[in-house]
A and B are shown apart, each in its own frame.
Chain A
Amino acid sequence: MSEKTIKFKIDGKEIQGKVGQTILEAAEEAGIYIPRLCHLKGITPHGSCRVCTVKVNGRPQTACTQPVVEGIEVENDTEEITEHRKNIIDMLFVEGNHFCMFCQKSGNCELQALAYRFGILAPKYPYQFPKRELDATHPDIFIDKNCCILCGRCVQTSKDIDGKNVFEFVGRGPEKQLAVNSKANLAGTDISVTDKAAEACPVGAIIKKQEGYAVPVGKRLYDIKPIGSEIENK
């Protein structure tokens, strides 16, 4: 890959990216945070959550999959796009059963952190209260589908990094859900607690057992500082 720089603009600010970089990566290097959920460093981005959507020359594109091109004008922190992102977060909250009050991931959860960052006090859509299952058969890890937002990070991580293919999606549309590669449940798979897939989940859907509530309230990842501030304050 060549080291030639590519000049483009995000919200009017001149950014220098490298050939092969995505808008999200180039923005991050320049200290601009583009909110994201399904994106995880080390796995192939697939643009499924749409939270990182920006406007490139006026057209919506996912910043995690769109490569930088010379001279493009990217809109990121605008009222319209923020509204769009808040809608996605709202919908993800009402679509599942997100019981933050007792969730082990609370305070370190990326979905919750994005809602905090956007100042969402309550979702604007009616709650769906779907019936979802819990799989606590594995001795070290459990799956709580109530929280699952179908981002696919566990699926990709297990496939690309762990080389195990433990997770996959089944069903379509509203019936789409996370499934495991075994006859019955997670205990029947070859997942191990040291696998990267066990910590790939942005929400509380895949949790390591015996580690819950280790960090006190006030000292968790997003208690004081909003998600993305580590990039903005670089």
Chain B
Amino acid sequence: MTKPKIATTSLAGCFGCHMSILDIDERILQLVELVDFDKSPVDDIKKFTGRCLVGIIEGGCCNEDNVHVLKYFRENCDVLIALGDCAINGCIPSMRNEIPLKECFDEAYKDGPTVYNPEGIIPNDPEIPLVLDRVYPCSEVVKIDYHLPGCPPNADIIWEALVALLNNKPLDLPYELVKYD
């Protein structure tokens, strides 16, 4: 029997949640026996090679590329897990949600105390993904099946969730693992 596949991605996040995946330490040896990794920063596979059982999403959507990647994951994964506070509620990037986008750009590229930009250009190359009006939690863009909170989530909660999912068992998380910080 072929092993089920896992894909992961980091959208508007800091890669801290991916670091937390690596924090499962030597259990990663057990994990590679249980699953294969498909598209993921872990193995640098850029495109899905086939249907995946689990897609793990770190980060919310702050630009159009994030939205494309998230929809790409939804199309190719049976189960999507929003991993960490950014994917669940936008977290630190969403602090800009109450500030108009123009003010954010002006501060970043024109008025900031350390900015040198005499021509006052705001980057607009077509190669650069368009920034969205605000940061969107993943569940506002596609259907998310499971949420694992934390900033970052504890490695144990990731492990418990994956093992339960792969063995088709109900997820019963101990109290001290569910944390929002």
User: Contact residues of A with B, CB < 8 Å?
Assistant: 97, 99-103, 106-107, 112, 115-117, 119, 121-123, 126-127, 129-132, 217, 223-226
Contact = CB atoms under 8 A, between A and B. Distances in A.
Contacts of B146: 121
Given A116-B175, A224-B176, A101 B94 contact: no
Given A99-B91, A101-B92, A106-B180, A126 B140 contact: yes
11 contacts: A97-B98, A99-B91, A99-B95, A100-B181, A101-B85, A101-B92, A103-B181, A117-B175, A119-B173, A127-B140, A225-B175
A99 B178 contact: no
Interface stretch (B30-38, B109-117, B123-131, B147-155): B147-155
Nearest to A121: B147
Contacts of A116: 175, 178-179
A99 B96 CA distance: 13
B181 A119 contact: no
A99 B151 CA distance: 10
- For A99, A119, A130, which residue has the most chain B Cβ atoms within 10 angstroms? A99
Given A100-B85, A101-B151, A122-B89, A129 B180 contact: no
The 6 A-B pairs of least Cβ separation, nearest first, read A101-B151, A100-B180, A122-B147, A129-B97, A131-B98, A106-B181
A123 B146 CA distance: 12
Contact of B98 (A130, A223, A224): A130
Contacts of A119: 173, 178
Given A119-B178, A122-B149, 7 more contacts: A97-B95, A97-B98, A101-B91, A101-B92, A121-B178, A122-B88, A224-B176
B181 A127 contact: no
B72 to A, nearest CB: 22
Interface of B: 82, 85, 88-92, 94-95, 97-98, 134, 137, 139-140, 146-149, 151, 173, 175-176, 178-181
Contacts of B85: 100-101
A129 B181 contact: no
A112 B146 CA distance: 19
Contacts of B148: 121
- For B92, B134, B137, which residue has the most chain A Cβ atoms within 10 angstroms? B137
A99 B95 CA distance: 9
A129 B98 contact: yes
Contacts of B175: 116-117, 224-226
A101 B181 contact: yes
A100 B151 contact: yes
A134 to B, nearest CB: 11
A98 to B, nearest CB: 8
A129 B98 CA distance: 7
A10 B28 CA distance: 48
A127 B141 CA distance: 13
A230 to B, nearest CB: 14
A102 B89 CA distance: 14
Nearest to A119: B178
Nearest to B137: A127
Contacts of A127: 89-90, 94, 137, 140
Given A121-B149, A122-B149, A127-B137, A217 B181 contact: yes
Contacts of B134: 129
